[in-house]
Amino acid sequence: MADDAAEPDGEKLHATGGILLVAGNTDESNPYKKTGALQTFLLGYEFPSTLTFITQDSITFLCSESKAKIHTTLANPTSEQLGLDDNPKINVQVIVKPKDPAAAASAMETVLASMEEVASRDQKIGRLIKDKYTEDEWNAFLKTKGKEALSEEATDISTGVSVILATKDAQEREYTEVACKMGHKLISVLCNQMTNLIETEKKISLALALTYRTHEKLGDLIEGKLEDVSVWKGAKYAPDFDNTYADLCYTPIIQSGGEYDLRTSAQSNTERLKDTGIIIASLGIRYKSYCSNVARTIMIDPHPTQEANYTYLLELQKFALESMKEGVAAKDFYDTVKSKVAADRAELETRLPKNFGFSLGIEFRDSFLTLSPKCIRVLKEDMIFSLTLSFADIEDPFDSTKTYSLQLIDTVRVGKEGSTLLCDGLKELSHIAFFFNDKPSKSKNSKTQNAGKSTAASPTKKNNSPRKGPCCGDDIPEATAKRKIHQKELAERRQEEGLSKYAEDDGTGKGTEIVVDTNKRSFILPINGFAVPFHINTLKNVVKQEEGDFTVLRFMLVAPDQAEKADVVDQDQLIEIKHRRPIKMLDISVDPSFDGKRQAGDVEIHTNGIRYQSTLRADHRIDILFNNIKHIFFQPCDAELIVILHIHFKSPIFIGKKKTKDIQFFREASEATFDETELNKHFKTFADKIADASDGRLEVDMPFRELGFQGVPFRSSVLLQPTTECLVHLVEPPFLVITLTEVEVVHLERIQYGLKNFDLVFVFKDFTKPVIHINTIPSGQIENVKEWVDSCDIPFSEGPVNLNWAAIMKTVTDDPYEFFKEGGWSFLNSQDDEEDEDGNSDDEDSAFEVSDEIYDSSSDDSDSGSDFDESASDASDGSSGTASGSGSEALDWSDQEKQAARSDQKKKKGGAEASSSKQKPRKGRDPSDDDDSDVSIDSEAEAKKAKKKKAPARKR
């Protein structure tokens, strides 16, 4: 530090006899000041409202009592702590500043005495004069004592401090590099989000655009990603990496539409994100107090001249990195880069910025060390800079009345032979140019512009997809081909994940020993990888069964309501808000309710959860903790008779004597004393307040009705609506909530030419969970459903018949690794592959043998698990659906024989439908006949009855 201060740029600092650091109250509008930066550099933390006076042999702190406890630990520092070879005697004096003005003045006398001692030796006192802090008490004290001159005549040491902070040691470089990597991660997420919003063929993205389409909203979205644990899961940027140490240097800046402000002080406006032209995004990350900066340009359907200018910008950055090395003055570096542009592209010289960046560190921008024509400072090894290259206000080739800009910012480290990027990526033309319009503009060249494949923004991005939707005439084959490519990538990813996840499981059953402890009269069972003890008195009996080569022991336990309470966990105690009234919503109905009766009550927001209290009975109370809420949904009453605030739990709770995994608070719009708009606003505001009270753990989700489709998840046809994270049905019980991130694959059943509807099956990553069936979806929705599933990055498959999922999942859970080793879920696409190969070749891609039992005889021939099956379980917990079935109307036996004959004629003529000769003869309804009925013929006995008398359809 002393060596740096002795340099020419640090002469004023070196000549001072003492340094006075006056840190006032924190200024949120300007958090970067040299006083705070020097405190962080010396002490590791910034201490506001602290006065520090430093001399050659003493340090004096004047601060509050709480800060004094920290500063006292600095007394008698060792040479190791100081980073010196010897151990000089440094006197550390910590003075507590009392709250009483008279006592505070007495404490400040000590600091003043130290300053006067330095002045008496004709030595200057150094100050950071440009730092404007609010410290009225100190200034008033000096004025009272008539010592204003000590402060006014002080030497400005800002340049000297800049010299000290400019060169970074190994730890500082590590922190900066981590900040760079985090910045590139977020800029990648941001670019991916923007292109998803612009890619109009993805309807789910269009729905998201309603919320996040403005520049300002996009910036806020990325700001929230910084604290999202899922974004940083698995990141290994440093051995002790922790994303909680990171913060934004500034709110992310998003600009598009021809108006660009390339200054670091720019802000995102409230304009909507434009789907053509140039988009510039920039953000800065601060990790453990050390800053980084990054900016990228996104090009949507660019003109060839725009591509050429950006390519030259990349070349210019490479040249700048080679020229930026130790010993070069900052102004000479600026002139060198500018001269190259003047020689290569003279028309772009006037478009260059006034400086090419600035020094980064604890301060985001060091104004005393910039890459400008006025800065004479010499670059040194291990200096860190934000290298900013841009071309501003270039005439738009598509519209001469508009302009566009290009910008490229990276954080670089100065070396002896040149500079290096601390983090690189997402800047090549193939990474940032997206082509959504297949038809070239009139001003474009006649040759076709190939879209670059964006691997950095999203590994499955389709950059050259048309803007038309999936059902727009001639674009269907191309969109389908792209979707197939995407689905192939997703299927391969699932296959690799399955092999990796279950590789250590050899399927031998080792590690599942049952231990008996005779001394403790107990036995220990392995359950989900945990050793769970049971007392012998809880054992009712043990049943031994032989299943092939395995022996199964079934333990029957004496435990009342054991099955009902198996997945119910004890909630923590609700911490009520005290000293003020909790935020509440009055006169709200709840479902499920106590005793099955509708009751009105109030919902209150407390410290760690919410409480529902019935207005009729004091004992009817429901406490819901934030840590048990998995999803929270708000559904307006725009197209319904009720407005809903729905909560889906992680673990079920009991309401009265009924277990539930969902609860919703609602009010009927017809009963409201105010209009629907006010009612929606009232519920939405309350939902947002719940999310705010959860400290960021919850986000309010909202169904997209325009993406909804009809289906039968339980016993009746309902509207199923996607949200950002789920597929839901919330209007009436039983409710359905499917978390999409938990879905392994989706399978479409009964996909045959001529059918009016099809079924949808969701298989979860937790193979022990039963699959969910959604039946009787209109065939007209099939492309929309496929597009939605594909946009959620979930692999899907399709087949002509219903499968026996109980048998399939038993095969999977018996030995998952063997299942994936033999092909995994590829067997679901076997029939599609056969059709692609003219229907005469066997499935050779999957080694998984599809036996007859895989096909659900009851679902092919009957519909035993149809949506009107009286034995279907009540799935009010929202985690299960119906068994596979069609829900088609039953026909006379003679009618079915006629249809079978017509089907045989089609086969002989090479018709569109094909069925396997290995399948058993159908006893019930042929899937080719799909008339949206309510029952089907389940067995041969029922078939004979139906032959005599037509079975009447059950009404919903």
- Cβ proximity of 612 and 601 under 8 Å: yes
Residues 155, 188, single domain; the answer is no
What beta strand segments (E) does 288-418 contain? 290-291, 294-300, 357-359, 366-370, 384-395, 403-414
| Domain end point (choices 387, 417, 434) | 434
My answer on whether omega of the bond before 734 falls inside 30° of 0, hence cis, is yes
Phi and psi torsions of 704, nearest 5°: -100, 100
- Cβ proximity of 341 and 352 under 8 Å: yes
DSSP state of 439: S
Q: Give the CATH number of the domain where residue 6 resides.
A: 3.40.350.10
Distance from C-alpha of 777 to C-alpha of 752, rounded to nearest angstrom: 13
Distance from C-alpha of 815 to C-alpha of 510, rounded to nearest angstrom: 13
Residues 197, 123, single domain; the answer is no
Query: What separation, in Å, do the N-terminal and C-terminal C-alpha atoms of the chain show?
Result: 83
Q: What is the pLDDT of residue 559?
A: 63
Within a domain: 526: yes
- Cβ proximity of 926 and 896 under 8 Å: yes
For 345-475, where are the alpha helices, taking DSSP H only? 429-432
Distance from C-alpha of 184 to C-alpha of 408, rounded to nearest angstrom: 13
Residues 577, 550, single domain; the answer is no
How far, in whole angstroms, is CA 721 from its chain's centroid?
A: 21
Distance from C-alpha of 433 to C-alpha of 451, rounded to nearest angstrom: 7
Distance from C-alpha of 816 to C-alpha of 155, rounded to nearest angstrom: 73
Count structural domains, the chain: 5
| Domain end point (choices 122, 139, 166) | 166
Residues 196, 147, single domain; the answer is no
Within a domain: 176: yes
Residues 347, 313, single domain; the answer is yes
Residues 81, 188, single domain; the answer is no
Within a domain: 229: yes
Residues 279, 380, single domain; the answer is yes
Give residue for tokens 């043990």: 542
Q: What is the pLDDT of residue 56?
A: 84
pTM comes to 0.49
| Domain end point (choices 701, 728, 757) | 701
Rounded to the nearest 10°, the torsion over CA 123, 129, 132, 136 is 30
Mean pLDDT by 10-residue block, N- to C-terminus, for the chain (956 residues)? Answer: 54 81 75 86 86 87 87 71 61 86 84 85 83 71 80 84 91 94 89 69 43 75 83 84 90 88 86 83 93 93 92 95 94 95 94 94 92 94 95 91 93 94 88 70 39 36 38 56 82 80 57 80 85 88 82 80 61 82 88 78 90 83 90 89 91 83 86 72 90 87 92 93 94 92 94 91 93 94 92 92 92 88 84 50 43 48 38 40 38 53 55 40 39 38 41 35
Within a domain: 329: yes
Q: Give the CATH number of the domain where residue 553 resides.
A: 2.30.29.210
Task: Tell me how crowded residue 548 is: count the other CB atoms within 10 A of its CB.
Answer: 7
Helix or strand (DSSP H, E) at 58: strand 58-63
Task: Tell me how crowded residue 417 is: count the other CB atoms within 10 A of its CB.
Answer: 9
Residues 536, 614, single domain; the answer is no
Contacts of 530 (CB under 8 A, 6+ apart): none
Residues 520, 611, single domain; the answer is no
Within a domain: 199: yes
Task: Tell me how crowded residue 642 is: count the other CB atoms within 10 A of its CB.
Answer: 21
Within a domain: 953: no
Distance from C-alpha of 414 to C-alpha of 314, rounded to nearest angstrom: 19
Residues 115, 223, single domain; the answer is no
Contacts of 339 (CB under 8 A, 6+ apart): none
- Cβ proximity of 890 and 936 under 8 Å: yes
Q: What is the pLDDT of residue 949?
A: 39
Residues 161, 179, single domain; the answer is no
**Would you tell me the crossing angle of helices 940-948 and 893-908 to the nearest 10 degrees?**
110
Within a domain: 539: yes
Give residue for tokens 């009270």: 693
Residues 249, 345, single domain; the answer is yes
**Would you tell me the crossing angle of helices 170-198 and 215-225 to the nearest 10 degrees?**
130
What domain range includes position 696? 560-701
Within a domain: 820: no
Contacts of 527 (CB under 8 A, 6+ apart): none
Distance from C-alpha of 484 to C-alpha of 477, rounded to nearest angstrom: 10
How far, in whole angstroms, is CA 167 from its chain's centroid?
A: 36
Helix or strand (DSSP H, E) at 564: helix 562-565
